[in-house]
Structure 1
Amino acid sequence: MLPEIVARFTSLPVHPIADGTPVEVDSVYLLPSDAVLGIKDRTLYFHPQVHATRERRPIDVFFGALSADIGELAAGVVLSGADSDGTLGIKAIKERGGLTLAQVPDSFGPHHADMPDSAIATGLVDFAIPVEQMAARLADFARGVYALDGIAEDHEKSISQAQVDEAREAIYTILRNQVGHDFSGYETKTFLRRIQRRMQILQMKAPEVPQRCSTA
């Protein structure tokens, strides 16, 4: 009955997952009970739990597969739950530059705080916030994914390529001075995606160049 129940709260189509289901935008997918989910090439796969060797961390398994499949485009959300499932998955998503969120208490929960508390304790959760605030954060994440590509449809809100290049060189200098590592050899798009993620977390609209580095 879960698809029917969830459908009452969203206008998006709600799909029970079948093995080999391709992921489509603006869709909700529900895992069958007692199954372990994976994803590869934007396609969902699952296998039944083997009770003799039961896999007790299905969220860790899926987050790990998701981060391997789409890297920095992945976002992981840990909600109410009674164990530490999701903690290792959060680490996997962060290692590949994705976004991580976990639920903190408000007037509605979480009723079981073990899972979000365990994830938050890693120090790798970008936003520890009430669940009501998560949709806005995820929407900002989706809108900002390509903001640093230098492609602008709205001139007034655009980030010029010159701004991006100037900020990137300044950030290279800061990192080289502070941690002794030269990131200028990294793939530019990968580096910019990581900067974009930090901008989202810090709620920065443009990659401003610090004055102390403007002539470095």
Structure 2
Amino acid sequence: MQPTQPPPDRYEIVAVASSAGGIHGLGTLLGALDAEFPVPILVVQHLDPRHRTVIAEVLDRRTDLDVKLAEDHESVVPGLVYIAPPDRHLLVRPGGRLALTDSELVHFVRPSADLLFESAAGAYGPQAIACVLTGTGRDGAMGVDAVKSRGGTVIVQDPATAEFKGMPEAAVGTGSVDFVLPLEEIAAVISGLVEAKRQ
């Protein structure tokens, strides 16, 4: 599937969502990205809020990129991976400033991929890439609609290759998806899109 609008001058943000099976999916995706990846990456992975999370440490060992839990009001830096903390929604504001909120659950989850994607669409418009990986439920589907409607690019893991198909299938079902790819091919496509705009 090809993008239906002319591509933006350059991409400035990548937002990724995953749930069940997501640690493997995120490790595969992030591990295949170069240490010099030129834009920030924001991640919503559904986590059990009852336990302290070690997701940043786990993923940091699987990628050449630096990985950290996102902090309220911090400004994003190219090449860093920001993970939504357990039980906090992660949003990005214009200018690349992050916001964490404990507002209501969305589709029974917090953090919500929908809210992250919608905020990225609002802040970056056609300069945003949204990516949905393995997971149960429908989180992310409304968000990919928002990204696509603002001219951004949407990539979804092929449900046939996903450990849990719910989130990828819901995203594909919106009709707002540019690329449906096996997990192992997603990093190369994201890198190609981002790098092509920086030549």
TM-score range, shorter chain: 0.5 to 0.7
Q: Check the 8 A contact 2:70/2:83 in 1, yes or no.
A: yes
Q: Check the 8 A contact 1:73/1:145 in 2, yes or no.
A: no
Which of the residues 55, 59, 82 maps onto 2:106? 55
1:70 aligns with 2:124: yes
Q: Check the 8 A contact 1:77/1:100 in 2, yes or no.
A: yes
Deviations 1:133-156 (A, max 9, x none): 011111111123366xxxxxxxxx
More helix by share: 1
1:115 aligns with 2:167: yes
User: What secondary structure is seen at the aligned counterpart in 2 of 1:140?
Assistant: helix
Q: How far apart are residue 54 of structure 1 and its match?
A: 2.6
The runs of 4+ residues in structure 1 deviating greater than 4 Å are none
Shift in alpha-carbon separation, 1:55–1:143, aligned structure 2, 3 A: same
More strand by share: 2
Which of the residues 129, 139, 149 maps onto 1:85? 139
Q: How far apart are residue 105 of structure 1 and its match?
A: 4.4
Q: Matched residues, percent identical?
A: 30
User: What secondary structure is seen at the aligned counterpart in 1 of 2:68?
Assistant: strand
Specify the structure having the higher radius of gyration (Cα): 1
Which of the residues 26, 44, 66 maps onto 1:13? 66
Q: Check the 8 A contact 1:22/1:43 in 2, yes or no.
A: yes
TM-score (norm 1): 0.62
Hey, what does 1:142 align to over in structure 2?
A: 194
Which of the residues 48, 51, 56 maps onto 1:3? 56
User: What secondary structure is seen at the aligned counterpart in 2 of 1:116?
Assistant: helix
RMSD: 1.6
Q: How far apart are residue 13 of structure 1 and its match?
A: 1.3
Identify unmatched segments of 5+ residues in structure 2. 1-53
Q: How far apart are residue 44 of structure 1 and its match?
A: 0.9
Deviations 1:60-109 (A, max 9, x none): 11100001101111000011111111111111111111110111146xx4
Q: What does residue range 170-189 of structure 1 map to in structure 2 within 5 Å?
A: none
Q: How far apart are residue 48 of structure 1 and its match?
A: 2.1
Which of the residues 179, 187, 192 maps onto 1:127? 179
In the alignment of these two chains, the number of paired residues is 142
Cα distance in 1 for partners of 2:106, 2:165 equals 21
